[in-house]
Amino acid sequence: MSLIRGRFKNDINKEVSRYTASIPYDWRLYTYDIEGSLAHTKMLAKQKIIGSKDAREITHGLKAIKKEIEQNKFVFKEELEDIHMNIESRLIEIMGKAGSKLHTARSRNDQIALDLRMFVKNAIQGTITDIQTLQKALFYVADLHQNVAMPGYTHLQRAQPILLAHHFLAYFEMLQRDKERLLDCFKRTDAMPLGSGALAGVSYNIDREFVAKELGFKSITKNSIDAVSDRDFIIEYESAASICMMHISRLAEELVLWSSSEFGFIELDESFTTGSSIMPQKKNPDVAELGRGKTGRVYGNLLAMLTTMKGLPLAYNRDLQEDKEGLFDTVDNLNSTLKVFTGMINSLKVKSDVMINSLNEGYLLATDIADYLVKKGETFRKAHAAMGKLVRWAIENKKSFSEISIDEYMKYSSLFEDDVYLITAQSALEARNNIGDTSPEQVKKALKAAKIKLSKTNFV
């Protein structure tokens, strides 16, 4: 029978035991649980709440258990509910009386809060590393194709010439914000909750600051009731992860589009594509699609947790057990997606000729020609109107800008002169030369700035 059912006459229903057990997934927290118990033990001894001999025995036992788990020799038992009771029971099995003292001045409520905070801190570090690596891949491709021009799109219609590098650096910026958001979440996760007990604190003279220091926490939580019922740090991680996956889904959409026959802008490496069971010719961008599809589950996990927390009275309620699986799923899917996208970006082949050719069709220079008129004295609205009519005529007559004669131009504005033919994709690019623009000069600066950001490794 369970260690904690002294008050009960009957054991728990078998089906209920299976239903309520979290050990099938929370075993994964074992490192944090044991680290936390080691620090707790050290503190209990320092404060003379338990004897130093007991502390040594417990420490020894916990380390032995860790080894058992790592060597797959530990038998996890469903009837012991969770990772905490599995470890404590085994400790008592090994150590007897000393083991029975471990749970002094502690509750599972503050213990799980500690384990989860340690897990999230670690997850954030992993995610940031993976984001940074993907940023490096984006930087690499951008840097490699610094001078490749392509159509920039709005509404998926060709809009204005841009540099491919500028396009990839847009994703670099998004990922930069993702890192910042995760770091902000880290700050709030980095508070040590142990000592909050079940909800009211504990009746022993403990040293919470000491435990925090032992475990590398920057601060301790300030209110015991809040500390055992707070899962903000999980929701905040899942929210930052959702925004990051949204960014990935946009990149994925473009990789799918760009590797289609119709766009033909890039070719994904074979090792990042898959075949069809029936159509022998297929080479599908499955990795990009799957990454895009996984956005759904990451959003779903966020909403699941928000829903679960809604309307719960203080303090701990068993509903909170639902915090783990979604969190683990989000971390695993986000991090693996970042990793495979890194490989995919690093190995993709840019078909720069196709990109550059695409600039010739779609009247992408219309804005520049309108601006040309403005610089000759026209107001912008009138220049825009004139160019609108000119484009309409050009489409109907199947002429590109360079094929329009100066006389034809002048039917739309008397300001046109021969220098209108000097407006080219290249001139358009060079003209956009303010901070953040797509000109070669600005993009070079942006690449330099990106390189500096990537060189910073101590982001936490």
Within positions 379 to 418, which residues make up the interface with a second copy, using CB under 8 A? Answer: 379-382, 384-392
Q: Closer to a second copy at the Cβ: 120 or 370?
A: 370
Find the shortest distance in angstroms from Cβ 454 to a second copy. Answer: 14
Measured between alpha carbons, how far is 308 from 326 in angstroms, rounded to an integer? 11
Find the shortest distance in angstroms from Cβ 86 to a second copy. Answer: 12
- Applying the rule CB under 8 A, the residues between 249 and 308 that interact with a second copy are 249-250, 252-254, 256-257, 259-263, 269-287, 289-290, 292-297, 299-308
- Applying the rule CB under 8 A, the residues between 128 and 157 that interact with a second copy are 151-157
By CB under 8 A, the count of residues binding a second copy is 198
Question: Pick from 454, 459, 458: which is nearest to 137 by CA?
Answer: 454
Catalytic residue list contains 229: no
Question: Pick from 137, 238, 118: which is nearest to 181 by CA?
Answer: 238
CB distance 141 to 168 below 8 Å: yes
* Among the listed residues 41, 127, 224, 413, the single contact to a second copy using CB under 8 A: 224
Strand pairing category for 191-192 and 219-220: parallel
Token look-up 């779903």 returns 300
Q: Which two tokens stand for residue 441?
A: 């000069």
Catalytic residue list contains 37: no
* Among the listed residues 37, 86, 109, 132, the single contact to a second copy using CB under 8 A: 109
Q: DSSP readout, 122-145?
A: HHHHHHHHHHHHHHHHHHHHHHHT
Find the shortest distance in angstroms from Cβ 158 to a second copy. Answer: 5
Q: Is the dihedral of CA 47, 53, 54, 55 positive or negative?
A: positive
By CB neighbour count within 10 A (0-12 exposed, 13-18 middle, 19+ buried), where does 347 fall?
A: middle
- Listed ranges 29-37, 67-75, 94-102, 128-136: which one lies at the site for a second copy (CB under 8 A): 94-102
- Applying the rule CB under 8 A, the residues between 307 and 366 that interact with a second copy are 307-322, 325-326, 336-337, 339-340, 343, 358, 361-364, 366
Identify each DSSP E strand in 218-364 by its residue range.
219-220, 266-267, 349-350
The amino acid that residue 75 corresponds to is V
Q: In the stretch 1-40, what mask flags binding to a second copy with x, by CB under 8 A?
A: -xxxxxxxxxxxx-xx-xxx--------------------
- Applying the rule CB under 8 A, the residues between 225 and 244 that interact with a second copy are 225-230, 232, 235-236, 239, 242-243
Find the shortest distance in angstroms from Cβ 3 to a second copy. Answer: 6
Find the shortest distance in angstroms from Cβ 155 to a second copy. Answer: 4
Helix (H, G, I), strand (E, B) or coil at 68: helix
How far, rounded to the nearest angstrom, does the alpha carbon of residue 390 sit from its chain's CA centroid?
A: 46
Candidates 52, 260, 276, 402; catalytic one? 276
Q: Closer to a second copy at the Cβ: 32 or 299?
A: 299
Helix (H, G, I), strand (E, B) or coil at 161: strand
* Among the listed residues 177, 218, 349, 448, the single contact to a second copy using CB under 8 A: 177
Instruction: State the catalytic residues.
Output: 155, 276
